[in-house]
């Protein structure tokens, strides 16, 4: 599992940092190394917020560095009030994410970067208000899923349950060999 935190360094996808960008290059390097190894081994991978963004970069994608510049609003990272904003996410039918989460759910939101181009990942969930990608997956792998929100700060742990089940399934397959 790759978690939230600092911004993903735009240098990794060939761009100069936006003035609001806050990076930790050592973290990026370490997590990219781990993520690429996990993907190569076809281990179950879950990306949460920054983890989803890093996943997109690992797959050759690019990010929006500062969503207010692109979307014209701060709804994904509210500047006042509670820590998180909230908005709906619609999921594409017949995808792993849809099987786990259903047609639509309301998620929490606190990020100013977002996936612009998912690279080799499939975008399978969007915020219907602005079409920002909120969920990605790799249907060619046993379990690679990224979500833009923070399910650890909700009462909805279905993505974690799916990750655990994917790990259990992989372990069972390995023990049968």
Q: Which residues are catalytic?
A: 49, 150, 152
Q: State the helix-helix crossing angle for 25-40 and 50-58, rounded to 10 degrees.
A: 60
Burial of 71 (0-12, 13-18, 19+ CB in 10 A): middle
- Measure the CA dihedral 40/123/30/112, to 10°: 180
CB atoms under 10 Å from CB of 54, counted, come to 26
Query: Residues near 85 by Cβ (< 8 Å), separated by ≥ 6?
Result: 75, 76, 77, 78, 108, 109, 110
């Amino acid at each position: 599992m790759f978690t939230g935190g600092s911004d993903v360094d735009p240098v990794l996808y060939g761009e100069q940092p936006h003035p609001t960008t806050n990076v930790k290059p050592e973290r990026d390097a370490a997590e990219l190394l781990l993520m690429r190894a996990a993907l190569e081994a076809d281990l179950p991978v879950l990306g949460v917020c920054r983890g989803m963004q890093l996943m997109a970069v690992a797959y050759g994608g690019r990010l929006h560095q500062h969503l207010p510049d692109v979307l014209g609003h701060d709804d994904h990272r509210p500047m006042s009030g509670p820590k998180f904003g909230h908005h709906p996410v619609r999921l594409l039918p017949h995808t792993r994410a849809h099987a786990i989460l259903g047609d639509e759910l309301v998620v929490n939101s606190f990020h100013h970067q977002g996936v612009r181009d998912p690279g080799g990942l499939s975008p399978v969930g969007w915020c219907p208000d602005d079409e920002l990608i909120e969920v990605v997956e790799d249907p060619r792998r046993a379990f690679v899923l990224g979500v833009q929100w923070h399910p650890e700060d909700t009462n909805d742990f279905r993505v974690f349950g799916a990750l655990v089940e994917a790990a259990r399934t992989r372990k069972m397959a390995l023990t049968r060999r």
